[in-house]
């Protein structure tokens, strides 16, 4: 298993930051390399919501199906994907501090096939860089909403 943790301090209300990461429609507005969202359930937010997210990665489209498995409003949201022999478990949490919002993401990659067990530790830096860019875009999006 590999684990990546990162935090951004965002000059925006906690509710706005939470809604940006917990509502995939808003998240896709904040992260422009998400080029398409297809909901696979009637629900658009909350536990049980399933969707297919298509991103541009190195000039190519890559689709991943995710499910919201935990949702506590204005506190945390967990999204899980099972892709190419790895379960990707992403937990976003929000906390208020000194009038700003700390957004933390803990992403765990649990490989259950042989090749991903070898490869995931090797690509951890690349994944962390991509996730960090997403977090930076969420921060910029939320802060620009305040202007």
- Please say if the pLDDT value at position 70 is more than 90: yes
* Spatial separation of the C-alpha atoms in residues 93 and 104, rounded to whole Å: 5
Give the tens place of pLDDT for each residue, 81-125. Answer: 999 999 999 999 999 999 999 999 999 999 999 999 999 888 888
Tell me the CATH class for 2-31+70-145: alpha beta
Work out whether strand 60-72 and strand 86-97 pair parallel, antiparallel, or are unpaired: unpaired
Q: Where are the domains of the chain?
A: 2-31+70-145
Kind and range of the H or E run holding 125: helix 114-145
Sheet holding 2-10, edge to edge: 2-10, 100-111, 86-97, 76-83, 60-72, 50-57, 34-39
**94 touches 76 (CB < 8 A):** yes
**pTM, two decimal places:** 0.93
Calculate mean pLDDT across residues 62-91: 97
């Amino acid at each position: 298993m590999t684990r990546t943790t990162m935090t951004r301090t965002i000059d925006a209300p906690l509710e706005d930051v939470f809604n940006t990461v917990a509502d995939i429609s808003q998240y896709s507005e904040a992260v422009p390399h998400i080029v398409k969202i297809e909901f696979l359930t009637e629900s658009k937010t909350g536990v049980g919501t399933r969707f297919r997210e298509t991103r541009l990665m190195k000039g190519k489209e890559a689709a991943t199906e995710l499910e919201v498995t935990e949702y506590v409003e204005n506190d945390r949201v967990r999204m899980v994907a099972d892709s190419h022999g790895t379960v990707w478990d992403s937990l976003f949490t929000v906390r208020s501090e000194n009038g700003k919002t700390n957004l933390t993401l803990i992403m765990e990659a649990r490989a259950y096939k042989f090749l991903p067990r070898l490869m995931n530790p090797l690509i951890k830096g690349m994944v962390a860089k991509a996730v960090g860019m997403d977090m930076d875009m969420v921060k910029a999006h939320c802060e620009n909403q305040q202007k």
